[in-house]
């Protein structure tokens, strides 16, 4: 699931004149998508790299990929030109968009020592979850671009095949997970992710293999649930951990997760974050993607 950029493609990408992107509402504009695609298609070995990426995300057994853009980050730095390249790769998978009106396309995930340690930008264990779990139409893909890893060496990403974890549960447990008995978090001011969904079922019986496993292990500590539903959710959380893979994102690594297949999270950052100046702490940029009609994963 790790994808290296062939060196001749890397060389061409360094010089690629990608223009600043335009938005159409909360989505990347079609004109930008077309322009980026035209530029990329003219580079050597691009089509096969994009095909490998799409296959890793949607092929049999797939569901996530890490595109290694570290050499490009080294050559270009990690500001605008690099972000345009990452956006162009993302646009080969689905349509980039921002559900948060206060954020442009990419959202910073820095490190805040005072925040709830188990939440986004906290320093602790960020348990298995899908992003925007309580929206009726969560983003089809969530993506994380590593600008700076934890300088103290912590914070590996964790990923787990959600449907494989569900398949290992008992029938009784799965029945409980299919009940509309779960809820998590707040919901306001979000674009293009549907309505607030509360309470929701974790398993959507309409499409057992490709539907979302609408889960966040964060609900175990933060939402009031009945004892039977808590127990079922705990069993799912344990199976996700049993099946997990983990790896540390390096500078320039771009993690793309198909939210219909895999759930994600992150191990704790290394102790001592308060001794690291804010500007040196781990920094990711997050971008969401919406699958279009006709590619087999439309919402
Ligand atoms: O910090 C990470 O690696 C993951 C963050 C995350 O999953 C989130 O903010 O939704
Ligand atoms: Fe997340």
Give residues with Cβ within 8 angstroms of 53, minimum separation 6. 3, 65, 67, 89, 92, 93, 256
Distance separating alpha carbons of residues 225 and 239, to the nearest angstrom: 19
Distance 265 CA to ligand 1 centre (A): 6
Q: Which atom of ligand 1 is nearest to the CA of 255?
A: 3
Distance separating alpha carbons of residues 274 and 272, to the nearest angstrom: 5
Q: Closest Cα to residue 1, out of 210, 246, 206, 295?
A: 246
Point out the least confidently predicted range of 16-20, 85-89, 185-189. 185-189
3-state secondary structure of 250: coil
Distance 130 CA to ligand 2 centre (A): 6
For the chain, the residue count is 299
Listed residues: CB within 5 A of ion ligand 2:
131
Give pLDDT, residue 90: 98
Average pLDDT over residues 93-117: 94
Q: Model confidence at 101, in pLDDT bands (50, 70, 90)?
A: confident
Q: Model confidence at 297, in pLDDT bands (50, 70, 90)?
A: very low
**Domains present along the chain, CATH in parentheses:** 2-290 (3.60.130.10)
Say how far residue 98 (Cα) sits from the centre of its chain: 13
* pLDDT tens-digit readout, 265-281: 999 999 999 999 999 99
Residue 199, preceding peptide bond in cis (omega within 30° of 0): yes
Average pLDDT over residues 278-285: 97
Q: Closest Cα to residue 162, out of 249, 265, 266?
A: 265
Q: Which atom of ligand 1 is nearest to the CA of 142?
A: 10
Give pLDDT, residue 293: 62
What is the best residue among 117, 139, 142, 144 to mutate for testing ligand 1's pocket, by most ligand atoms within 8 Å of CB? 144
The DSSP secondary-structure symbol of 275 reads G
Give pLDDT, residue 299: 38
Distance separating alpha carbons of residues 112 and 9, to the nearest angstrom: 37
The residue behind tokens 């569901």 is 63
Distance separating alpha carbons of residues 258 and 161, to the nearest angstrom: 10
Above 70 in pLDDT, residue 208? no
Residues 39, 45, 49, CA angle at the centre, nearest 5°? 95
* pLDDT tens-digit readout, 5-33: 999 999 999 999 999 999 999 999 999 99
Give pLDDT, residue 211: 87
Ligand 1 site residues (CB inside 6 A) read: 109, 120, 126, 131, 144, 157, 264, 266, 284
Distance separating alpha carbons of residues 141 and 127, to the nearest angstrom: 18
Residue nearest to atom 9 of ligand 1 (CA): 120
Q: Which atom of ligand 1 is nearest to the CA of 155?
A: 3
Say how far residue 208 (Cα) sits from the centre of its chain: 21
Residue nearest to atom 3 of ligand 1 (CA): 266
Say how far residue 8 (Cα) sits from the centre of its chain: 28
| Mean of the per-residue pLDDT values of the chain | 95
């Amino acid at each position: 699931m790790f994808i290296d950029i062939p060196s001749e493609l890397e060389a061409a990408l360094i010089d690629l004149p990608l223009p600043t992107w335009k938005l159409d509402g909360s989505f990347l504009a079609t004109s930008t998508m077309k322009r980026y695609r035209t530029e990329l298609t003219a580079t050597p070995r691009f089509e096969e790299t994009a095909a490998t990426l799409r296959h890793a995300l949607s092929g049999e057994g797939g569901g996530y990929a890490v595109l290694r853009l570290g050499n490009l980050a080294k050559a270009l730095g990690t500001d605008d030109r690099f972000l345009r390249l990452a956006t162009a790769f993302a646009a080969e998978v689905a349509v980039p968009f921002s559900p948060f009106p206060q954020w442009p396309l990419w959202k910073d995930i820095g490190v805040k020592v005072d925040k709830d340690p188990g939440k986004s930008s906290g320093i602790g264990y960020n348990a298995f979850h899908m992003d925007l779990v309580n929206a009726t139409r969560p983003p089809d893909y969530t993506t994380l671009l590593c600008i700076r890893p934890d300088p103290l060496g912590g914070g590996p990403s964790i990923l787990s095949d959600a449907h494989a974890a569900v398949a290992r549960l008992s029938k009784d447990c799965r029945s409980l997970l299919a009940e509309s008995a779960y809820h998590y978090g707040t919901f306001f001011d979000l674009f293009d992710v549907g309505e607030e969904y509360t309470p929701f079922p974790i398993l959507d019986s309409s499409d057992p293999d490709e539907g979302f496993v609408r889960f966040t292990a964060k609900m175990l500590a933060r939402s009031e649930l009945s004892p039977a539903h808590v127990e079922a959710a705990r069993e799912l959380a344990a199976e996700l951990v049993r099946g997990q893979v983990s790896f540390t994102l390096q500078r320039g690594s771009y993690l793309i997760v198909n939210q219909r297949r895999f759930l994600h999270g992150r191990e704790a950052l290394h102790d001592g974050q308060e001794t690291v100046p804010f500007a040196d702490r781990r920094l990711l940029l997050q971008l969401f993607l919406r699958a279009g009609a006709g590619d087999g994963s439309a919402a």
